[in-house]
Every structure is written in C-alpha cells, then in structure tokens.
Structure 1
C-alpha cells in the first residue's frame, strides 16, 4: 500500500523546468537588449549635447509677397510670437528681419518683412526663426572696433563698443550653437547707461579657435576664454565689470564668477534665459523628445566618466556637479539679475527660480511668460530694457555719461 503523503510529493516536471529556464533566458536577453539600446541612445544624446552643430531649420517658408513685403511661415511656437525677430534663409537672401504678425491660422503665420526683399527674389523652403534681430554690429550705428582677445587656445575675435571715459564695462557671452551676434540686442541698453560693451567669442563657436576635441565643455572650459577677456578689459581701463550671459553663456558666466582670479573686478551679473544647472535642461529636453526617463542621467554619467566621456566625444570629463550653481548658491558673491520666461521651451526656468529662492539677498529674477528662449527682448523690448536699466540703477552701475 502506498502512503498518501508520499504519493503527493512529486517535484516540478522536467517540462516545467525547461519552460521556466527558457522564459528566464528570454527575459535576460530582452533585458540585455533594452539596456544596450538605452546605453547607445544615451551616448548619442551625450554626443549631441557637446558637439557643435550648424543651425537647424525649424520652420517652412509658405509664401513670399515682395509687393506687399510680407512673408508666410509654417506655424510653430516661435513663429507665432508677437514682436520683432530674425529669419535665416537661403537663396537670394541669407537673413531677414520680420515684424508683427499680420494674420494666422492653424498652419500658417503671415508676418511683416522689415528687410526689403526685391521682386524676383528666390528663397528656399527651409528657414530658421531667430531672436537675433541684429546680425552685424554696423546695424547698431554705434562706434565699435574689432578686437582679438588672447586666450589659452589662441586669439578670439571680439567687438568693442566703447563709451568715452567709461570705467564700467559689460562683457557679453553668447549661447550654445550661436555666435556673438546674439548679444547685439543688449549693446544699446548698456551704451545708453554709459557702459562700454565687449562682445566676445569662445572656443568651438565657429569664430574662435577650435579646441583639440572640438566639443563644448558646457561652461567648464569656455570660461577660461572669457576670463582672458576680463583681463583684456582691465588692461583697457575697466574698473567695474558686468558679466552678461545668454543661455549656455549664462553657465559660462557663472563658472567665471565662481572661479576667476579677476572676480574682484566683477560688479554684477546679468543672465538671459540661462543654463543654471545642466541636469535640469537635459531632463526637460528628454521629456520633450519622449525619451525614457533614465536617458538623461545615463548621458550625464557618460560625460562625467573619464573613459566613457571619450566615447561620447569629449576628451575630458564634464563636471556636472560644479556646473550646478543651485547647489553652489552659497558660493555666489555678486549681485545677479536673471531674465527668464516660464514658457522658454528649451532651457526651463526651474533652476533660475531655485537659484533666486536660494539667494534672495543677491539674485533678482524677472519672470516673463509667452516669450521663448532668448527672445525676451524681441517679445517685449521696453520691459526687457527697463528691467536691466532699473537694476543697473539699484546697483549704482551707470557710467558718468549714462542717461
């Protein structure tokens, strides 16, 4: 007679064990595939962050009326904005100034042309909408000279807009993927305040010399080129220096203020749509692209590590902790004005808010809405100008010839 308890004590069947093993193998293979794919995507993201790239088209030319001097563009969050802007095109013209929105629908925005386009002009369909407005220094109708600033990587071109007998200067630093012309909008504001302006270039921006890697340091290396400009200004008679940074130029300026041996000459900082913490920017852009949540941190990890940073295109690791100025807020020493839009669309304003909250004794934040990235002047020139000039007054930074 068989004992009932012994009869019921059979183990898993061989078929079941085989099935479990196969399932675990498939799961492991799928996991390896997912991790490998995410690793490859994160490296591509990292490369994109540090690699300079030509300007990318972001709108389509839908119509040009040379008789009426109007231009029609595909509707985007930028092309529908009120104000004055620039438009990079190809064909018989390279750059156009555009004015107010005349009409719009769900697909097309018609704007007034502020640059005369002759009859018979031919323009390609692809175009890039810009906040520059001014593309050349001559357009400002202010005296200027072209200069070369000696830096660790060689001579970097700069424009100097002098004010007679001015001992207060502003050094302006443009953002990622653009050039000095981005800064021209601010020159008349400082000139009217009796302040000389030095508009600088830095490594890998297409105007200054190329570094060995040819990639951005996201502020961690570029600040040394601007530090040389600070020395240049002091040798030319500057006693008080304001640093102004646009977008990534803000990250450069903040690193300069925290690290420069000339920091004692810095009287204040102005930041337009600045990068205050790169992690915040990468997280936001990954969400916009609908990338998996771990990708930004993996990209940061790739750029921070000495070995993987080379694979990602950077010769040296990028110190993201040092570039996080919110966490370093206690180290700030200079009065700072931030202009940032909550509708920026590229560099979120979160870190600017956090920095202002961390250092209300030094940091003032003027929050815009509707305006997009580095297009605050374009959207509301009067408010933008007034915000800066009022801050200059509060800091006692107007020059003797300031209005």
Structure 2
C-alpha cells in the first residue's frame, strides 16, 4: 500500500470514527427526531399517542397526596344509532360519558385501555385557562388587560410587543403563525422540531417578529399564543407550570395517576398541547368545569371565570365556531355548551344544561378532512340527546 493510499485509508477511518462519535453523542436527539417524524404513521400513531414519552422530553405533574376521587357508575346508556360506525371511522381510542357525575358509558378501542396516558394536544390549552383564572382571582396577575411584556419581558421587540393578555387568551394577538400541520416547513411544524430536539420554546416565541395584523383586530388560531400565556404565568408566579398546575388544578381533582407534560430542552412544559393523562382523569377535569369550577365540595376556580372563559367573546367570523378564553363554543350552541378540543380528534365536550361531560380521544389521521369536526360535534350532541 503506497503512502497516498495509506493516508486515504486513514482519512476514511477517521471520518468513520467521527461519525460514530457524533452518532453516539447525538443518539438521543436523533432517536427523538426519528420518533417525531414517524409520530403520525398509520401503524404507529395509536401507540405513540399513549406513549409520548418515547418521542419527547417530559416533566412530571404531581397528582397530590389526596385519595382518588370517585367517578361512580350510573345506569349504562344505549348509544344512539351510528355511534359505533363513528367510533370506527374516526379512529376513536376512548369514549367516556358522564351524566349527573356518573359514568354511563366507557369504552376503549384500537387496543388501548383505561390505564393509557393519552396526549391531550390542544385540550391542554383549556387547562391553562383554568389555571390562569385561579391566579387572576388570587391577585398574582393584575388584569387580563395588562400588557404581555409586564410578565414576559423577554418578548420585547417580538411580534407580541404591544399585545395584552386578553389578546393572548382570545387568540387575537395578531402574530403571523402558520398552523398547517401538513406543511413540513410551517411554523407549527418548525416549533415541533424545536421541541423534539431539545431547543427553547421561549426562544422560539421571542423570535417571532412578523404580524398578520394589529393585536385585537381579528381572531386567528395561533397555538404559540398559549405558550406565551404560560410565559406570563411563569413570570407572574416565579414557578414552573407543572408545579403551580399541580397545586392549583390537578391535586384538587383526585386523579388516578400523575400526568406529565412534554417539555423543551430547558424543562419548560409544552403547555399548548403536551399534557398526558388517563381518559377518566380528563373526565374529572371536565366535570369540575361543568360544575362551574366546583369539585368534591371545593371551589377550584371561581365560577365567574368559567362563565367568562366559556363565552364566545373573540371576534370569530359569522358561522365560525366561537372562541372564549382558550375554550371553543360550537356553532349555534346555547349557553352552557362548550368544549376543549385537540387535533387528531381529542375533545372534552361539556353540556352544563344537562349535566353531561363527554371525553373523546382519537388517533384520526384524517381529522382535517372536510366535515370531520362537524361530524364529531354532531355525534357528541346525539349522545347527549340520548340521555
């Protein structure tokens, strides 16, 4: 072997060693990125939605030391015609119905079970709304009309400079943000990669400079707004969200098991969509809200906040779903009917007029198909009508 060949061999060997070292060093990040890129694959999505800790960093949320609160069984309902087909076609993984605080239907599908901790996606936004209402009542936050920068000064010179907390709650911040889940280069998917690779969500939010309009001028669903709401809460309390959420919201509910949040590389909870808990525990939260913030003899959040948060106050377009403070109001629904909602078919549907809470979890890869959401709302209404 001549000298040139020896040097070439050494270069190849060194390059291979460097690749191995870098691969080992970045193994966890590479594994998470691979998991994220296959998160919604048809043969993986159901298992992934019950095991999100495999793809993302996480932070625990303590359940508290109290006993598990009862969810007694009621007389089991007969599901209306068409529900079984809906469960199959929309890839539901669980369906739980409470009437008068009692379980009248509970079923699990696609190989899942009651012990699965299921990803909330944007249902988590409604949890943060409840927490915010508690802190507002306690005086930790002065007003929903306070400027965002009062509690999140790191957003100075970003697109959030000039917005108020009300704008954030109502999704009228005016921030330009592309929420297209099917576009690899959209803002929401760039944000997902930041999360998966252990980047900073605060830094991502602070880096948003473009505006679609002035704050308060128009409604546009912008998920990163809810992260900013989390920044406001952290700035006001000096505490991490899992800590204060556990104390103020989770512990009073007497959950079956401790939930967890997905988190970024700084341990900051992914509050806009990263909560994971059992279906029955989603139902406990829904029941507390349905009862105007009261649960097991304790007023968890002020009733006035529940009323304000679940009233369609945002300037949504005519014929569009209403929006309050991180809660959805179905088109044409009477007062007292509202929902938490997440992508891929997650719902906590609440009908205060008839004392009904319906929890739906799903792994519906076709959730964006025309009519899919309307079908879901129609079927939940039919279930409520059948009681």
Bigger-Rg structure (1/2): 1
Whose relative contact order is higher, 1 or 2, with alpha carbons under 8 Å and at least 6 apart?
2
TM above 0.5, yes or no, is: no
TM-score (norm 1): 0.28
Report the structure, 1 or 2, having the larger strand content: 1
